[in-house]
Amino acid sequence: MSDTTCHMSISLDGFAAGPDQSRDDPLGKRGKELHGWHIGDPRATEADKQAVEWLMRPRGAYVMGRNMYGPIRGDWDEEWSGWWGPEPPYHAPVFVLTHHAHDPIEMEGGTTFHFVTGGFDEAYAAARETAGDKGVDIAGGASTVRQALKAGVIDEFALDIAPVVLGSGESLFEGIGSFDFEPVEVLHSPLSTHIRYRRVR
């Protein structure tokens, strides 16, 4: 499928991460509460398992922001190859938005991180060219997803809405003036309401 997809977990008040993101809290304070449906909470149900299938379906390339890639800011003054260990879950090229150039980093399992300094449009174009008919996924975080929404490139958008109020953090929809999608599938569990949207053309 050559569509561009995106899959994000958010709180009831619209935050994709909690406040005070750091190396110890990459999702911010309480941010993990948004992800229990796929990181081992024993209350997870068949609905959550199906949403994991949405999340983990193979794609031809990914676009992510530097904040999602890691905690380093400014110049690349230390070695870092992502949060995911030697074999990240992507198994495809990942184009990372950054203001600071870096050589590509090849990982096990087919993931190579490419660092793009020319902005979202350049990264997305490279991902589309690389992915071919396998499709692109906008992996996050919130800032990169907002750029993708403003660019109008997402065809299918899945949201996992956790029954959690964070109060502050990284807002997914800050500055987004419209939402041109309609729901096509809804699943729910005690941990999350999973909604799969398609763009209205």
* Burial 35-65, CB ≥16 within 10 A → b, else e: bbbbeebeebeebbeebbebbeeebbbbbbb
Strand runs labelled E in the chain? 4-10, 15-17, 61-65, 93-97, 105-106, 112-116, 136-140, 156-161, 170-171, 181-188, 193-199
Tokens of 162: 């956790």
CATH number at residue 133: 3.40.430.10
132-to-72, 114, 128 alpha-carbon distances in Å:
31, 17, 6
pLDDT of 172 above 90: yes
pTM over the 0.85 mark: yes
Does a structural domain hold residue 53? yes
Does a structural domain hold residue 79? no
Does a structural domain hold residue 78? no
Q: Domain range holding 158?
A: 4-16+27-73+87-199
Does a structural domain hold residue 21? no
Backbone φ and ψ of 58, nearest 5° = -65, 145
Q: Nearest Cα to 62, choosing from 172, 10, 140, 2?
A: 140
In this prediction, residue 114 carries a pLDDT of 98
Instruction: Report the number of distinct structural domains present in the chain.
Output: 1
Does a structural domain hold residue 163? yes
Confidence of residue 152 (pLDDT cuts 50, 70, 90): very high
Inter-residue contact 33 to 162 (CB < 8 Å): yes
* pLDDT tens digits, 35-65: 999 998 999 999 999 999 999 999 999 999 9
How far is residue 81 CA from its own chain's centroid? 17
